[in-house]
Amino acid sequence: MIEQVKYVNHVNETLEFGKGKLFVNESDLHDFAWSVTSKNDRISGFKKGIVSKTIPIILKCDSEEEGLQLRNRLFEVCEKDVLAVKHGRIIIGDYYLKCFVVESKKSEYLMCDGYMKISAKITTDFPYWVKETSNTFNYGAGVSGKNLDFNRDFPYDYTSNLVDKQLNNTGFVETNFRMNIFGICENPQVVIAGHIYEVAVSIMANEYVTIDSINKTIILTHSDGSTENCFNKRNRDSYIFKKMPVGVSNVSANGDFKFEVVLLEERGEPKWT
C-alpha cells in the first residue's frame, strides 16, 4: 500500500506524496513515545517535548526538467515555514501534525535530474495528530442569509440550517476546542454539558469572537480584520478553556446568535482507517 501524505505550508501551498511524482517510504510518522518523569524513583508522570521524525521521500519524474522544478519546489514550500517561524502541516487522512521541515539529505540525485532520494527531518513542539470536527449552532430566527456573510473567508459553509442542540465528541478522551461566536450579540454565553463559556463583549455584525483552548486565547475579530484581545473579559467564575467531554452533551445559549464549536481530537498517532 502506498502511503498517502500531504504537506501544507502556512500559506496553503501543498505537496502531495503517494500520487504522481513524490512518494513516501515506510517512516516513523505513525510512531510515538512518552518521556517519563519521576520523583524519588517513582513514576510521577509522562510528557512530550520537542519531537523529531524522519520521512524518506522518493522523487521520480518523467523528465529531467520536471525533476529539477520539483526539487526546487520541495525546498521552497517547506522553507517558507522555517523563515516565517510558522508551522506547516503533515496530513494523513483526517489528521494533521503541526511541524517544520528542518533538515533534508539527498542521495542518488546524480543518476538523472528526474530522480532523487531525500531524507527529510521534521520537528514539532506540539507532537499530537489533530482532527478538526466542526459543529455549527444557530439559535436565531434561521432566516437565510441573515448575519451570515463575513468579509473574511472561513473553511466551513455557514448557512442558516439548524443542527441538533447537542455536541457529540466521538473521541476516546475529552478534547480541546476552538469556539467561534458570531455577531450580532451582547455578552454571549454558551453552556455545554452544564459548563458555562461566557465573554462580556459586544459583537457587531460581521464580527466574531474566537475562544481557543489550546493557545488559551480569546480574540475578537472586527469586520475590517483587526483583532482585539478579550482575555480579561471572560467569565472568571467558570473556566472558559475547559475541554469538551466525551460523548453527547446538551448545548444551549443565552441569546439569538450563531456559534461554532470545532472539536480538536488529539492523538499520539493518526488513526488507522
The band of 161, judged by pLDDT with boundaries at 50, 70 and 90, is very low
Q: Is the confidence at residue 91, as pLDDT, over 90?
A: yes
130-267: what fold? Jelly Rolls (2.60.120)
pLDDT of residue 1: 66
Which pTM does this prediction carry?
0.85
Domain 5-127 has CATH 3.30.420.40: no
Q: Is the confidence at residue 35, as pLDDT, over 60?
A: yes
Domain positions in the chain are 5-127, 130-267
Q: Is the confidence at residue 273, as pLDDT, over 90?
A: no
> Tell me: the pLDDT tens digits for 208-231?
999 999 999 999 999 999 999 999
Higher-confidence residue: 39 or 153? 39
pLDDT of residue 3: 83
pLDDT of residue 19: 82
Q: CA triplet 1, 51, 48: central angle to 5 degrees?
A: 115
Higher-confidence residue: 139 or 48? 48
Q: Is the confidence at residue 160, as pLDDT, over 50?
A: no
